């Protein structure tokens, strides 16, 4: 059943490619505006790079969160998912996995390319990639709680941002911190380990909270 959810969401995303691409282009454009606006001061660009790329990734991932459950809620598929003979936890995990694959993985893959604009070295680009690889599933997991809570509300998009962005702060600090450490020639291990710990915690608790929020939204 888990497989069906993931396959279905990937198929739907493929048929609605424009939505996926718009998230990716948003990320690319936001991250590219900074080098253009600041000018070719390598030292300054290098020092702001971790924060800028990470913040752009946070904002881009906000864009796709609103769609996570909305379509399924409108056509009644979400009701059917609540009635499947499997725990809702697994349904949510499947949806989060699909959302991550569709909306976050492209950002993670293209981030090193954006890092080049900021004059980052190859070691740092690798750390940027790894930190996003660990951090981005956390964004999807925590984001799913906000998406479920704001389901069916008008103006839900802004509300999701207000609810979820504060929860993203630890991810931002340690994700950008890892890249920053690498730029300054310090080991990024501690930051990455902490990100990993966040990932495990959110993997356990976020789908559970999302399930509860979905049940309330569909009452």
Size of interface with another protein, in residues (CB under 8 A)? 26
Region near another protein per CB under 8 A, out of 38-46, 53-61, 85-93, 110-118: 85-93
41 SS3 class: coil
Region near another protein per CB under 8 A, out of 48-56, 67-75, 108-116, 196-204: 67-75
User: In terms of CB distance, is 12 or 48 closer to another protein?
Assistant: 12
Q: What distance in Å separates the CA atoms of residue 101 and residue 55, rounded to the nearest whole number? A: 19
Q: Are the beta carbons of 104 and 139 closer than 8 angstroms?
A: yes
User: In terms of CB distance, is 190 or 215 closer to another protein?
Assistant: 215
* Other C-beta atoms lying within 10 Å of the C-beta of residue 61: 25
Q: What distance in Å separates the CA atoms of residue 201 and residue 169, rounded to the nearest whole number? A: 15
Q: By CB under 8 A, tell whether 10 contacts another protein.
A: no
Q: By CB under 8 A, tell whether 21 contacts another protein.
A: no
CB of 78 to another protein, least distance (A): 8
User: In terms of CB distance, is 88 or 130 closer to another protein?
Assistant: 88
- CB neighbour list of residue 54: distance below 8 Å, 6 or more residues apart: 131, 132, 135, 172, 175, 176, 179
Q: What distance in Å separates the CA atoms of residue 208 and residue 134, rounded to the nearest whole number? A: 20
Region near another protein per CB under 8 A, out of 8-16, 45-53, 109-117, 120-128: 8-16
CB of 174 to another protein, least distance (A): 36
Q: Are the beta carbons of 170 and 196 closer than 8 angstroms?
A: no
* Out of 8, 10, 59, 165, the residue judged to bind another protein by CB under 8 A: 8
Q: Are the beta carbons of 23 and 60 closer than 8 angstroms?
A: yes
Closest by alpha carbon to 25, among 100, 132, 107, 117? 107
Q: By CB under 8 A, tell whether 39 contacts another protein.
A: no
Q: Catalog residues that contact another protein under the rule CB under 8 A.
A: 1, 3-5, 7-8, 11-12, 15-16, 71, 74-77, 79-87, 218-219
């Amino acid at each position: 059943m888990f497989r069906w959810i993931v396959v279905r969401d990937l198929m739907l995303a493929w048929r609605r490619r424009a939505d996926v691409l718009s998230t990716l282009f948003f990320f690319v454009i936001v991250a590219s505006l900074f080098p253009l606006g600041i000018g070719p001061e390598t030292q300054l660009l290098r020092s702001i790079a971790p924060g800028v790329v990470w913040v752009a990734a946070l904002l881009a991932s906000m864009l796709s969160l609103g769609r996570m459950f909305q379509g399924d809620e409108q056509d009644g598929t979400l009701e059917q998912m609540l009635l499947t003979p499997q725990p809702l936890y697994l349904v949510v995990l499947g949806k989060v996995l699909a959302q991550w694959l569709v909306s976050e993985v492209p950002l993670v893959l293209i981030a090193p390319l954006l890092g080049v604009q900021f004059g980052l070295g190859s070691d740092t680009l690798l750390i940027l990639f790894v930190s996003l690889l660990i951090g981005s599933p956390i964004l999807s997991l925590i984001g799913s709680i906000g998406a479920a809570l704001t389901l069916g509300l008008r103006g839900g998009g802004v509300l999701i941002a207000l609810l979820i962005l504060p929860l993203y702060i630890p991810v931002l600090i340690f994700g950008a911190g890892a890249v920053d450490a690498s730029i300054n020639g310090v080991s990024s291990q501690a930051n990455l380990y902490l990100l990993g710990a966040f990932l495990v915690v959110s993997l356990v608790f976020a789908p559970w909270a999302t399930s509860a929020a979905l049940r309330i939204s569909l009452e």
